[in-house]
């Protein structure tokens, strides 16, 4: 690689040099509208960047690679940074394995003015000297994903497509993409297992979600999308179990 840093790209007003994935998701979920995007360093290492985009109720992340002589993004290759910037001025339209279309509309600037005001401290004391396990084990991760999955009905064993949203510790599904109220909200604290299901002979990309009180079967559009759902849900389940074991240990020591 000739140069693992593209200084022209990193001078873009919507490049955030110190932003992590979590902070990017938090900022875009809180302040962004659909199609708001920003560029940040990738955790994969030098020469790679991540494009984070607000999309409905989740944030999607796309990989961008600087090879030292060209920029690769999606199905496009750019010889110069100016060509790359011009591409974003034309509002790119992206579609991944999930089939969900993302329109990049509004760059999230790095430098934003806020009023320079501070609160006055009128009381200052210490509440406790003991380490609070509730604070230590508080989970701030978003782990957001959304998309269509086809769900098998509980009473009538037919498949119906629903809009699913994974955010924090909840998996919600809606009748349609723009429905305001979910049909059901699943608390992943109750989830026993999430894995690929092989019982459906005519479908190969089926997710099995065992909630203890019911097993949900969800059919995805592709193997990659199915794997992404399974990995994200299992990441959440592992985090829940880790916090649970820590809390049990703290209870035993009290």
Compute the Cα dihedral for 181, 24, 233, 248 and give only its sign. negative
What pLDDT is attached to residue 86?
92
- Residue entry with tokens 């701030």: 140
The domain spans of the chain are: 7-107, 145-253
Say which CATH topology domain 7-107 has: SHC Adaptor Protein (3.30.505)
What pLDDT is attached to residue 178?
84
What pLDDT is attached to residue 234?
93
How far CA 108 is from CA of 24, 38, 67, 128, in Å, comes to 10, 5, 25, 40
What pLDDT is attached to residue 243?
65
Cut 0.85: pTM above it: no
Structure tokens that stand for 98 in this block = 């999930």
CATH number of 145-253: 2.30.29.30
φ, ψ for residue 102 (rounded to 5)? -120, 125
- Same CATH fold assignment for domains 7-107 and 145-253: no
Q: 10-residue block means of pLDDT along the chain (254 residues)?
A: 65 92 91 93 85 89 88 90 91 81 92 80 72 55 84 85 90 91 94 94 92 94 92 88 59 51
Residues in the chain: 254
Cβ density class 169-189: b for 16+ within 10 Å, e for less: bebbbbeeeeeeebeeebebe
Work out the number of other CB atoms within 10 angstroms of the CB of residue 39.
25
What pLDDT is attached to residue 223?
92
Choose among 228, 229, 225, 206: nearest CA to 99. Answer: 225
CA–CA separation, 42 and 19 (whole Å): 9
CA–CA separation, 186 and 176 (whole Å): 17
CA–CA separation, 70 and 107 (whole Å): 22
What pLDDT is attached to residue 2?
47
């Amino acid at each position: 690689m000739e140069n693992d840093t593209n200084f022209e790209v990193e001078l873009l007003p919507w490049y955030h040099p110190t932003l992590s994935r979590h902070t990017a998701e938090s900022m875009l979920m809180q302040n962004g509208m659909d199609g708001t995007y920003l560029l940040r360093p990738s955790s994969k290492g030098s020469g790679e960047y991540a494009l984070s985009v607000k999309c409905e109720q989740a944030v999607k992340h796309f990989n961008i690679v600087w090879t030292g002589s060209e920029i690769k993004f999606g199905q496009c290759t750019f010889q110069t940074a100016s060509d790359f910037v011009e591409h974003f001025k034309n509002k790119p339209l992206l579609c991944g394995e999930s089939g969900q279309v993302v329109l990049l509309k509004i760059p999230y600037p790095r430098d934003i003015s806020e009023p320079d005001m501070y609160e006055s401290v009128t009381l200052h004391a210490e509440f406790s000297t003991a380490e609070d396990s509730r604070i230590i084990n508080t989970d701030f991760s978003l782990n957001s994903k959304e998309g269509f999955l086809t769900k098998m009905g509980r009473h009538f064993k037919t498949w119906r497509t629903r809009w699913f949203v994974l955010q924090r510790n909840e998996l919600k599904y809606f009748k349609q993409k723009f429905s305001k109220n979910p049909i059901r909200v699943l608390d992943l604290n109750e989830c026993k297992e999430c894995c690929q299901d092989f019982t459906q002979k005519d479908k190969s990309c089926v997710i099995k979600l065992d909630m203890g009180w019911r097993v949900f079967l969800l059919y995805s559009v592709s193997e990659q999308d199915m794997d992404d759902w399974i990995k994200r849900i299992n990441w959440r389940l592992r985090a829940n179990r880790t916090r649970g074991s820590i809390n049990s240990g703290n209870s035993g020591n009290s």
